[in-house]
Structure 1
Amino acid sequence: MGRRGVRGIVTVAATALVSTVLLAAAPGAQAATTYTGRTTATVNVRSAPTTFASDVGTIGAGTTITLRCKVFGPSVGGNSYWYKLGTGRWITARYVSNVGSAPGFCGTGSEYAGRATVALNVRSGPNTANAVVSSVPAGGDLALVCKVDGQAVDGNPRWYQLSGDSAAWVAARYVTNVGTAPPYC
């Protein structure tokens, strides 16, 4: 094989490697494994990634915990990450010190299409008590990453996290999936 053929193979391999690294670093990229953290204070465990979700327990300061992945949510003490625990519950990352590397983002790394059925508020977390951070007009397209069960809106407890690098959530009650629905976070 000549130099040109080898250069082509190296270019393809390098492109694949860069694409893989970018996908792993992007919001929505699924965590490949579990991670470990240690709580720096007593922290409330929540049913969804927001302080407005029901409190389902506490974890004492200095406790080693298993972390699955992270999502953006309402900021707590300047930190907008929320960690999904090995139990499927959530805690703010504000009071967690990572042991080793930090968890990756929840989801599959894919975006899923949705469309707003009404003019829709985009909130900082999966609850109507969370701040409105933007809005989408009726019929507007949405790039969805994953879903959680949060506050029920007209009987539907599901909320979708939007793609991007900030906390952006919409009530699934007002979204029509275009194709496949996103997986749980």
Structure 2
Amino acid sequence: MKTTVRTKIMTILGTVAAAGTLAGGIAATAPLARADTGSGPRAITAANLRIGPSTHVGIRAVVQAGDPLAIACVSPGTAVDDNRDWYALTDQKGWISATLVEGAGEVEPCHGGVDGLKAITSADVNVRRGPSTLDESVGILGRGTTVTVVCGAKGEVIDDAHRWFLLAGGNWVTGAYLPSVPPEDTPDCDA
């Protein structure tokens, strides 16, 4: 996982707390626990759990600094600090940016082992970095373009469709323009 400024700061804070405790200072032991990446994935700071892998979609819940996280898989989404990795939590509890997590280790892709489903666009559609029109557009697919869908996730509602699809290549398209994709045939990215 890419080391971010936030990760470095939390590591330094844990080291300072440990030094203060050893010297008989009043530093709390909580930062020490957060700095221990051997105890499994944890939130580095208070963070929003999202309904999809984007900062532009709804908040499902909030985790606090040091909270343990049960990670199911990793998927690309909206870049946070130049990192597009997002972790889906088990039991569809939400998504969290990888920049807000420490101790995750190697994580399987959310769409691992899926061959992909062929779909055809029903109109010109923007291909985006995450499941929202606020996410960066990386191109446009013309009407009638065949794409490979690997999984689906909740995202911004477009024309009554809340489902967005991760395409082979790691970018997203709204389900509003892929009507040929039956939801029951597409695995959830966070399953």
When the two structures are superposed, what TM-score results if normalisation uses the length of structure 2? Answer: 0.72
Structure 1's 62 and 112: CA in aligned 2 closer, same or farther, altered over 3 A? same
Cross-structure match for 2:140: 135
Please state if 1:116 is matched with 2:121.
yes
| Shift of residue 71, structure 1, vs aligned partner | 0.7
Structure 2 match to 1:163: 168
The whole-number CA distance in structure 2 between the counterparts of 1:176 and 1:58 is 33
Q: Could you tell me which runs of 5 or more consecutive residues in structure 1 were left unpaired when the two chains were aligned.
A: 1-35
Tell me which residue corresponds to 2:49.
45
- Report the residue type matching 1:43 in the other structure: A
Cα distance in 1 for residues equivalent to 2:180 and 2:41: 35
SS at match of 1:106: coil
1:60: which partner in 2?
Answer: 64
2:44 alignment partner AA: T
More helix by share: 2
Could you tell me which runs of 5 or more consecutive residues in structure 2 were left unpaired when the two chains were aligned: 1-39
Out of 84, 89, 92, the position equivalent to 1:85 is 89
Distance 1:72 1:122 in 2: 13
What is the Cα deviation at residue 138 of structure 1? 0.6
SS in 1 for 2:132: coil
- Structure 1's consecutive aligned runs of 4 or more residues displaced over 4 angstroms after TM superposition are none
1:164-179 to structure 2, matched below 5 A, reads: 164=169, 166=170, 168-177=171-180
Distance 2:185 2:114 in 1: 14
When you count strand as a share of all residues, which structure comes out higher?
1
Query: SS state of the match for residue 99, structure 2?
Result: helix
Pairwise CA RMSD: 1.7
CA distance in 2, matches of 1:137, 1:130: 19
CA distance in structure 2 between the aligned counterparts of 1:133 and 1:181, rounded to whole angstroms: 26
Amino acid at match of 2:48: N
What percentage of residue pairs aligned between the two structures are identical?
Answer: 28
Secondary structure of the structure 2 residue equivalent to 1:94: helix
Q: Match of 1:74? A: 78
Tell me: higher relative CO, structure 1 or 2? Use CA pairs within 8 A at least 6 residues apart: 1
Specify the SS of the correspondent of 1:177.
coil
Q: CA deviation at 1:96?
A: 0.6
